[in-house]
Amino acid sequence: MKKNIFLTFIWLFTLLIISCNQTNPKSSQTNAEQNVSSDKIKTVMTKQMQDDLTPDAVLEDLLNGNQRYISGKMENRDLSAQVAATTDGQFPKAVILACIDSRVPVEYIFDQGIGDVFVVRVAGNIEDPELLGSMEYGLGVAGSKLLMVLGHENCGAVKAAIEKVDVGSENITALLSHLEQSIQEIEGTRNSKDKAYLDKVIKNNVNQTVEDIRNRSSIISGLEKEGKVKVVGAYYSLTDGKVTLLQDDTQEVHEH
C-alpha cells in the first residue's frame, strides 16, 4: 500500500515538472515579444532635433541607413506611434528627388521612418518649376538640411529618352526632353542597351539636375552657399541596393 502511494506521488510530481517545462517557453516567448515591442523606435524628428543637425550629419545618417538596408539590419519602428506623433507637424531632415521607379522605395533604402524625409518623385528625377517649388519648400520653409538627387540603375525614363520614344503624348515628350542635354554630353553610340553608356547618361543626368537646381533656384543655391544645406547627387544600384555619391563628372566618389 505504501509502495503504491509512493509511486503515485512520484507520478504526480513528474507530471508537475513536465507541465512547468511546457509553460515556461510560452512565458519566455511573451517576455521576448514584450522586449521587441519596447525596443521599437516610437520617436520622430522634432524641430529641435532638426535644428541641431548639420547637412553633413544628415548625409551620414542616410548613408548609414543605406548600409543597414543592405545588411538586412534595419531599425525596428513602431509606425503607428510615429503616425500619431507626426499628426500635428513634421520636421524632415532631408529632401530626396527620386525617380518614380517602383524598385526604388526611398524611405526603405535609407532606412528612414515616418516624418524623416521629404520625397519628391518624377520619372527621370528631373526638375521643373513645380518640383523646384516643392524642394524650395522643404529646404527653405520646412527646414530640411540636405537635398539629394537620386538616380538609379537601368532607369526606364532615361532609356526612353535615349530611344526617343514617342507614344503620341505631348506630356511624355516634354518630360523626356529634359534628359536630352545629358544624353548629348556623353560620347559614344546612342544605345540604351549598352549598359556602360546607359549608366553614364543616368549619372550625367543626376549631375545635370543638381546643376539646374542650383542655377534655377536662388533660394536653394543661397542656402547652400550659406552652409545651411548641402546639395548632392547619388546613384542607386538595383543590383545590390547600394547608394553611391557622385561627382559632377559622373565619377563615383563615396564608398560607405
Render pLDDT for 157-208 as a digit per residue (tens, 0 to 9): 999 999 999 999 999 999 999 999 999 999 999 999 999 999 999 999 999 9
State pTM to two decimals: 0.83
Each residue of 214-255: pLDDT tens digit? 999 999 999 999 999 999 999 999 999 999 999 854 344 444
For 56-105, how does the pLDDT look when each residue is reduced to its tens digit (9 = 90+)? Answer: 999 999 999 999 999 999 999 998 999 998 999 999 999 999 999 999 99
At 230, which helix (H) or strand (E)? strand 230-236
pLDDT of residue 85: 85
Mean pLDDT, rounded, for 36-56: 86
Spatial CA neighbour of 205 closest among 231, 234, 229, 230: 234
Q: How far apart are CA 70 and CA 220, in angstroms?
A: 31
Fold assignment, 44-246: Beta-carbonic Anhydrase; Chain A (3.40.1050)
pLDDT mean across residues, the chain: 87
Q: Side-chain half-sphere of 142: how many Cα atoms within 13 Å?
A: 23
CA angle 124, 127, 132 (to 5 degrees): 145
| Amino acid, single-letter form, for residue 119 | V
Write down the pLDDT at residue 248.
56
